[in-house]
Structure 1
C-alpha cells in the first residue's frame, strides 16, 4: 500500500473523485464559493427534492444548512445591489438639480 504522501496515491485518489459525477451538495458548495448564491440555492434545493435518500439524515441536514447560508448571501447581495442603485439615482438626481439655473 502506498504512503499517503506518495504523489501517485494522491493522483489516484483525485482520479477516483473526478470519475464520479458531482453531487448536488458539492455543486451547491462550489457555486456558493464562486459567489453565485442563486445557483447554489437551486443545487441544494434539487438535492433535497431529487434524491429520496437525501431527505433524511446527515446529507439533508447539510443541504438545509447550506440553503440557509445561500439564502443569507443572496439577500445580502440583493441589498447591496439595491443600495448601489439608490446611490447612483441619488447622485444623478442631485447633479440634475445643481445644473438647473
Structure 2
C-alpha cells in the first residue's frame, strides 16, 4: 500500500474537520494540483507545499510574514489550526496565547 503524499494527507485531514469550514475557512488542492491552499472566506490565507525531503512549508498570503517549515503532517495540521484560531481571535479582538514549540 502506498502512503499519501504529505500535502494530500494534510488536505484530507483538514477537510475532515468540520470546524474549519464552520469558522469561515476552507481548504483545497493547490492550483498546480499539489499542495494545500487555505482560504478565509473567498480570500487566499496561505498555503502548504511539500518538499522533496517530505517536509511541509507554509507560506502566508502576506509574504512579509515569515513562513514555517515542519517535519510532519501532524505539525502542519496543528499549526494550521492555530493560525485559524488566531485569525478568529483577531477578528473578535480576543488575544489567545500561542506558544512556539521546538
TM norm structure 2: 0.28
> Based on CA coordinates, which of the two structures has the bigger radius of gyration?
1
Whichever structure has more helix as a proportion of its residues is 1
Give the TM-score normalised by structure 1.
0.28
Give 1 or 2: higher strand fraction. Answer: 2
